[in-house]
């Protein structure tokens, strides 16, 4: 019946490719983006997700650190940055970063995610120092830090080659790169929304170099603003091509744009169907990237949980103190407790796997169903 | 696996209790969506989602019942208690017609309030007649079962007589409010002062017999199990079978929403997730083969999950709800302008079409 419904929806050829593990074309990608039968996309993406990961869903106990919000790039979709000289701007010293980490000393955090603005005032040594400071507090934590855009700035201020910069940061303690700042690989969107920032070629070159020096990374795409379908498909196929070359991407994270407090807040922002569609199409197109993450802060916890059946095998983590996207000026704390995450995964009929930044397995807690679902099927018999 | 249930659905066979329970225990939400969307397309082949222009008027918050899940009521004598003056009700209706236009019976008025010992049937008869005379564009889709039973009781008339008098005064149809979970074990736990399962069903049956239409609802995610949700769905289906057989009134739509724990006597309750909502909605579409329309609850689910639900069996986005006081007293409330409703519907691949409370299409004069 389900394959009949997929065929009836006019997706038979793509379904055949998915079943036979054939690579999807750009044209297939465009059709998937434009196809209205959302559960059909989810159904196919889930076949692929289960082939790769069975019923596993990865999560991490992590802390986010944003070392500075000062940024000279002025991207129109961003609500986080303060321009140099803006009184709202801040820079965290290595000591302040350590202090923030010690606030959560009793939580077994395995991943630190650290990104910031492109702050032209910070010297090269600062970046090395904050990396070392983090490893001093938690020597065993896996540290995921600096987007491709920040790395470009760090290289420039240090007057070093990108390769040399990456090797020095790696020696100082970073384990992986988070993959932000990719936005949408489109010259048109680049011109319109983030022209001061480096373009897609530069982003891909930086990722390639990082992978070559042994630093794996994630990859992202920020959607739901002015981009077009073809541009998103191009973005995915570019990532797929680089992955064929380097095998350095750990995961892909579609980022649902939030209009609040940005320069283009008149745009309505992505819908729930779009959020699920991005997860499903990414899973189907990116046949060579192991993990697809639904980042709950951007997608909302509700959509993220549904996304566990639309191709996502990772829901990120506890995320203490996230500042990049938030709906009010004052609320910095955004966190899901360990129990909330486990509950979401268990309710969805999945098996939780705690991981670190490199997807090394740390724990496999037993899922516990919420009480409303605790019904023995054998006991059930017709009463009506 | 649910392949055999899928085959039944494909063959147009009615699902039974065991089928329903297996669907509730089936975690693959995309498969439930595929099946519910298939049935939705059988019942509504046009790629269209309807919506309604209407508003809630919570005419009184005085209520002696004190349900644990309600953060809206004030007990009699409480200084925060109110009953709206007629003029205020009229000006709310004028505001609604200002938005919805003056086509006859096109603007839905959902009057709902507490069980206020001061308001007997003559209050409602007078108010409803006056609204009907003053505002031909208004359509009174008002009063929950609890209110009707209580009005009948304090006015010393039967429920049937009360319904006939209210109907003659201008009440056109009944909203399905207060159904909660139609299972006495659950009702005793969360709404023990309210009507029983049988009473709730009987009032709707009686309304159907005197030619009135109504809707049915389900509030899930408080203390019930999926078995009790399923019994609820089957009880509604059974009443609908009987009502359709008599060719008088019937349920026009089914709406499920999730319990909002904030501000209630059950604040620690784990809040139902969007995943649960989508599965429950899809299963409702599959079980309720004799109810034409399934409505979204964006007020409790928010725009993202409500829009996703348009591929989980839902064909109607509900009413624009110019104001909403009951659920918002419980913490969460999403109110949406018509343009935003239309954008979400169109983004999901449908055309947005305004309807009236009888589900007849009317021109999109508001856009």
**pLDDT tens for each residue of A305-348:** 999 999 999 998 877 766 666 555 545 556 778 888 999 999 99
Shortest Cα distance, chain B CAs vs residue A302, angstroms: 5
Q: Determine, for residues B31 and A347 on separate chains, whether the beta-carbon distance falls below 8 Å.
A: no
**Backbone dihedral region for residue A265 (phi beyond 0: left; psi -120 to 50: alpha; all else: beta):** alpha
> What is the model's pLDDT at position B322?
66
Q: Cα–Cα distance between A328 and A326 in angstroms, integer?
A: 6
Instruction: Say yes or no for a CB contact (<8 Å) between B25 and A37.
Output: no
- Please check whether residue B251 lies inside any domain of the structure: yes
Least confident of A52-66, B4-18, B310-324: B310-324
A144-174 in b/e burial notation, b at 16+ Cβ within 10 A? bbbbbbbbbbbbebbeeebeebbebbbebbb
Q: Is residue B7 part of a domain?
A: no
Spatial contact of A286 and A252, defined as CB atoms under 8 Å apart: yes
Give the closest of A272, A375, A384 to B25, CB-based.
Answer: A375
Q: Is B296 within 8 Å of B311 (Cβ atoms)?
A: no
B361, part of any domain? no
pLDDT at A339: 85
- Interface subset of B 32-71, CB within 8 angstroms of A: 32-35, 37-38, 47
Q: Is residue B360 part of a domain?
A: no
Task: Give the 3-state secondary structure of residue A290.
Answer: coil
pLDDT for residue B123: 98
Domains contained in chain A, number: 1
- Percent of chain B exceeding pLDDT 90 equals 80
Is residue B82 a part of any domain in this protein?
yes
Q: Which helix (H) or strand (E) holds B33?
A: helix B29-43
| A226 within a domain of the structure (yes/no) | yes
Total tally of structural domains belonging to chain B:
1
Determine, yes or no, domain membership for A241: yes
Joined tokens for residue B155: 């006015």
pTM metric for this prediction: 0.93
How far apart are the C-alpha atoms of A148 and A197, rounded to whole Å?
10
Provide the CATH number for the domain around residue A96: 3.20.20.70
In this prediction, residues A168-192 reach a mean pLDDT of: 94
- Residue A266 per-residue DSSP state: T
Q: Is A145 within 8 Å of A178 (Cβ atoms)?
A: yes
Pairing of strands B107-111, B213-220: unpaired
Examine the pLDDT at A44 and tell me if it is beyond 80.
yes
Give the whole-angstrom CA distance, residue A78 versus residue A57: 30
pLDDT at residue A383 tops 50: no
Structural domain contains residue A380: no
Q: What is the CATH number of the domain that holds B250?
A: 3.20.20.70
pLDDT at B213 over 90: yes
pLDDT at B323: 61
Q: Nearest 5°: phi and psi at A111?
A: -140, 135
- Could you tell me if residue A189 is inside a domain? yes
Find the domain containing B279 and state its range: 15-355
The residue segments making up the domain with residue A257 are 2-367
Q: How far is CA A272 from CA A135, A194, A217, B163, B288, in A?
A: 38, 25, 27, 41, 26
For β-strands A351-355 and A361-363, DSSP reports them as: antiparallel
**Cα distance between residue B67 and residue B73, in whole Å:** 9
Q: Residue B31 is nearest to which of A43, A310, A382, comparing CB atoms?
A: A43
Q: Least CB-CB distance to A305: which of B22, B270, B275?
A: B275
- Asked if B88 reaches chain A (Cβ–Cβ under 8 Å), the answer is no
**pLDDT band, very low/low/confident/very high, at A26 (cuts 50, 70, 90):** very high
pLDDT band at B335 (very low <50, low <70, confident <90, very high): low
Q: Say whether B18 and A5 touch across the interface (CB within 8 A).
A: no
* B173 within domain boundaries: yes
Check CB contact of B349 with chain A, cutoff 8 Å: yes
pLDDT at A381: 44
Per-residue pLDDT tens over the stretch A359-381:
999 999 999 999 999 876 654 44
CB A289 within 8 A of CB A239: yes
Residue closest to B319 by CA, chosen among B52, B19, B118: B52
Contact, B107 vs B139, CB < 8 A?
Answer: yes
Cα–Cα distance for residue pair A145/A168, rounded to 1 Å: 13
Reported as a single tens digit per residue, the pLDDT across B58-74 is 999 999 887 766 778 89
């Amino acid at each position: 019946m389900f394959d009949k419904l997929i065929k009836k929806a006019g997706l038979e050829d793509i379904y055949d490719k998915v079943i036979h593990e054939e690579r999807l074309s750009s044209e297939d990608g465009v059709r998937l983006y434009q196809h209205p039968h959302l559960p059909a996309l989810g159904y196919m993406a889930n076949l692929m997700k289960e082939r790769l990961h069975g019923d596993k869903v990865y999560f991490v106990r992590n802390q986010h650190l944003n070392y500075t919000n000062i940024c000279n790039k002025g991207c129109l979709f961003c609500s986080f940055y303060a321009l140099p000289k803006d009184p709202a701007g801040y820079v965290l010293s290595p000591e302040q970063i350590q202090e923030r980490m010690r606030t959560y000393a009793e939580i077994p955090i395995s991943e630190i995610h650290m990104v910031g603005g492109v702050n032209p005032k910070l010297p090269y040594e600062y970046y090395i120092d904050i990396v070392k400071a983090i490893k001093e507090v938690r020597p065993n934590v896996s540290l995921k830090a600096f987007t491709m855009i920040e790395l470009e700035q760090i290289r420039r201020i240090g007057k070093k080659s990108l390769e040399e910069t990456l090797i020095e940061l790696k020696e100082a303690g970073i384990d992986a790169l988070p993959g932000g700042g990719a936005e949408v690989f489109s010259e048109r969107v680049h011109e319109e929304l983030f022209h001061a920032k480096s373009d897609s070629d530069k982003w891909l070159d930086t990722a390639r170099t990082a992978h070559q020096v042994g630093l794996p990374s994630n990859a992202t795409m920020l959607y739901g603003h002015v981009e077009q379908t073809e541009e998103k498909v191009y973005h995915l196929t570019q990532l797929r091509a680089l992955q064929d070359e380097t095998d350095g991407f750990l995961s892909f994270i579609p980022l649902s744009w939030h209009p609040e407090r940005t320069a283009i807040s008149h745009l309505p922002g992505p819908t729930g169907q779009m959020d699920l569609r991005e997860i499903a199409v990414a899973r189907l197109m990116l046949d060579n990237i192991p993990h697809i993450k639904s980042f709950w802060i951007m997608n909302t916890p509700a959509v993220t949980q549904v996304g566990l059946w639309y191709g996502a095998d990772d829901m990120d983590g506890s995320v203490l103190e996230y500042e990049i996207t938030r709906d009010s000026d004052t609320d910095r704390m955004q966190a899901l407790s360990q129990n909330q995450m486990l509950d979401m995964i268990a309710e969805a009929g999945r098996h939780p796997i705690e991981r670190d930044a490199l997807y090394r397995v740390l724990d496999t807690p037993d899922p516990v169903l919420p009480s409303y679902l605790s019904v023995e099927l054998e006991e059930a018999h017709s009463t009506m | 696996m649910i392949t055999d249930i899928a085959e039944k659905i494909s063959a147009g066979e009615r699902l039974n209790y065991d089928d329903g329970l297996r669907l509730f225990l089936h975690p693959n939400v995309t498969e439930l969506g595929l099946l519910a969307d298939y049935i939705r397309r059988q019942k509504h082949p046009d790629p269209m989602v309807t919506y309604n222009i209407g508003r809630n008027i919570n005419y009184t918050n005085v209520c002696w019942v004190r349900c644990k899940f309600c953060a809206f009521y004030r007990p009699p004598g409480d200084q925060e208690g109110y009953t709206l003056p007629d003029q205020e009700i009229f000006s709310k209706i004028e505001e609604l017609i200002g938005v919805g236009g003056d086509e006859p019976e096109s603007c839905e008025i959902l009057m709902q309030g507490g069980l206020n010992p001061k308001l007997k049937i003559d209050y409602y008869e007078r108010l409803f007649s006056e609204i009907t005379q003053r505002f031909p564009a208004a359509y009174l889709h008002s009063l929950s079962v609890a209110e009707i039973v209580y009005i009948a009781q304090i006015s010393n008339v039967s429920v049937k007589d009360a319904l006939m008098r209210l109907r003659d005064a201008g009440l056109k149809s009944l909203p399905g409010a207060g159904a909660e979970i139609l299972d006495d074990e659950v009702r005793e736990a969360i709404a023990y002062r309210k009507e029983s399962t049988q009473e709730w069903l009987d009032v709707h049956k009686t309304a159907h017999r005197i030619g009135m239409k109504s809707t049915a609802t389900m509030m899930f995610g408080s203390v019930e199990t999926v078995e009790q949700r399923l019994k609820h769905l089957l009880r509604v289906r059974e009443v609908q079978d009987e009502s359709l057989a008599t060719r008088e009134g019937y349920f026009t739509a089914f709406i499920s929403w999730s319990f909002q724990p904030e501000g209630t006597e059950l604040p620690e309750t784990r809040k139902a997730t969007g995943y649960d909502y989508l599965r429950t909605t899809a299963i409702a579409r599959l079980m309720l083969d004799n109810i034409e329309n399934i409505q979204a609850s964006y007020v409790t689910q928010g725009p993202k999950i409500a829009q996703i639900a348009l591929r989980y069996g839902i064909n109607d986005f509900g009413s624009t709800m110019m104001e909403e006081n009951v659920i918002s007293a419980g913490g969460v409330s999403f109110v949406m302008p018509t343009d935003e409703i239309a954008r979400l519907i169109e983004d999901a691949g449908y055309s947005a079409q305004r309807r009236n409370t009888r589900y007849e299409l009317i021109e999109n004069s508001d856009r």
